[in-house]
Structure 1
Amino acid sequence: MTRFAAIVTVLALSIGSAQAGKFNKVLNPGDKAPTFQKLQGTDEKEYSSSDFSKDVVVVVVTCNKCPAAIAYEDRLIEFTKKYSGKVDVVAINVNNSDADKMDKMIERSKEKGFNFPYLYDPTQKIAMALGAARTPEFFVINKAREVVYMGAFDDDMRAENVKKQYVVDAVEAALAGKMPTVKETAARGCGIQFEKSSK
């Protein structure tokens, strides 16, 4: 093999590995987490990203009516209970259909007993900044406010079939000051209904 051919081969391998397993079109693992300002919550309070000060923050881009998002509500409630005092959890609805407006969000929050802030971003800016494409889509942010994991909560929408808990593993790693082994997976769920004017 000539020196030129070897260089080309190495470059091709390095480019291929850099692109492998990338599902997010905006962020890479290790990138600084986007911030948000003054989003209205179902508790009638306004929240900014700076209000979440624990060493690890989990941001969930979700909505009210997607069956996949609904399937993960109980797991998210249990996760929040488990990590209370250690991790800040915040859910952000970015869809603007009638079923996703604030009045319906308040109803859903009360019905399910959400134990985390449930915020509304009708501008959809946080979803675009995070590179979120589906609901639900999860982002684990470490003490340095870097995104260390993004994608699905776990490996099966049916809780009884779950074998891999991606968010839990990422949170445990981040709490220990480490990067998780799995940093990105493909989110599963409904496509976000982006407004034409938002793109």
Structure 2
Amino acid sequence: MEVQPLDDGESAPDFELPGVTGGEYATVNYKTYTLEDFDASALVVVFTCNHCPTAQAYQDRIKAIQADYDDADVVAINSNNTIEEYAGGNEYYPTDSFEHMSARADVADFNFPYLRDESQEVAKSYGAQCTPHAFVFDEDRELVYQGAIDDDREGEDVSEQYVRDAIDAVLSGEEYPIETISPMGCSTKWRGVE
């Protein structure tokens, strides 16, 4: 499925999704999150998942972003299809289910909410193309940057930190000059049939 990511200046689409965090909520005791639950000056929405090696390689860097910024909120969303009957010949990954998400958040001690977009409507509204795909919004929840988190898939030789630089720009009230840097990772696993 082809989706078009948000353009600079567009407003963050709202959402209402169930989510877990490391240690705070188990699958049977999840919390529902909306866009309004995040009130920091900067908001980072990252579409990610459990199964993708690139997404796995970024999980500690995403945790570090949340830990390093007091006035930025990070929220991760998993939209991948997990059900064979909905795949319609497309790939699907049962390990991206909400139960597996809860286990990953707990084992990896996520310090940000990890939300499940079962219908994939949120991923479509943001234009999430792969995992991970990051979107940084300012205080008015207008898009400042979308694309790759940084310039190194494995995290061993990072020289450009696009998401951190975008957050810094938001928090200092400056304009962020970098346009989209193509995100790196596994494609979003869309449902093939409804």
Q: Smaller-chain TM-score range?
A: 0.7 to 0.9
* CA distance in 1: counterparts of 2:113 and 2:120, whole angstroms: 17
Q: Which has the higher helix share?
A: 1
1:27 aligns with 2:1: no
How large is the RMSD of aligned CA atoms in angstroms? 1.2
TM-score (norm 1): 0.84
Name the counterpart of 1:65: 51
Which of 79, 86, 97 is matched with 2:65 structurally?
A: 79
Q: Specify the SS of the correspondent of 2:11.
A: coil
Name the counterpart of 2:135: 139
Contact 1:69 1:136 in 2 (8 A): yes
* CA distance in 2: counterparts of 1:89 and 1:197, whole angstroms: 31
* CA distance in 2: counterparts of 1:55 and 1:74, whole angstroms: 22
Number of equivalenced pairs: 173
Name the counterpart of 1:18: none
* CA distance in 2: counterparts of 1:177 and 1:33, whole angstroms: 18
**Cα offset, 1:177, TM superposition:** 1.8
Which of 88, 96, 99 is matched with 2:81 structurally?
A: 96
**Cα offset, 1:30, TM superposition:** 1.2
Q: Specify the SS of the correspondent of 1:60.
A: strand
Q: Specify the SS of the correspondent of 1:103.
A: helix
1:181 aligns with 2:181: no
Matched letter for residue 88 of structure 1:
D
Runs of 4 or more consecutive aligned structure 1 residues displaced over 4 Å after TM superposition: none
* CA distance in 2: counterparts of 1:69 and 1:96, whole angstroms: 16
Q: Which runs of 5+ in 1 are unaligned?
A: 1-23
* CA distance in 1: counterparts of 2:46 and 2:190, whole angstroms: 17
* CA distance in 2: counterparts of 1:140 and 1:192, whole angstroms: 19
Matched letter for residue 148 of structure 1:
V
Matched letter for residue 131 of structure 2:
T
Q: Which runs of 5+ in 2 are unaligned?
A: 83-93
Contact 2:54 2:154 in 1 (8 A): no
Deviates more, 1:25-34 or 1:122-131: 25-34
TM-score (norm 2): 0.86
**Cα offset, 1:94, TM superposition:** 0.4
**Cα offset, 1:167, TM superposition:** 0.3
Identical-residue share of aligned pairs (%): 42
Q: Specify the SS of the correspondent of 1:92.
A: strand
Which of 109, 114, 119 is matched with 2:115 structurally?
A: 119
* CA distance in 2: counterparts of 1:99 and 1:179, whole angstroms: 39
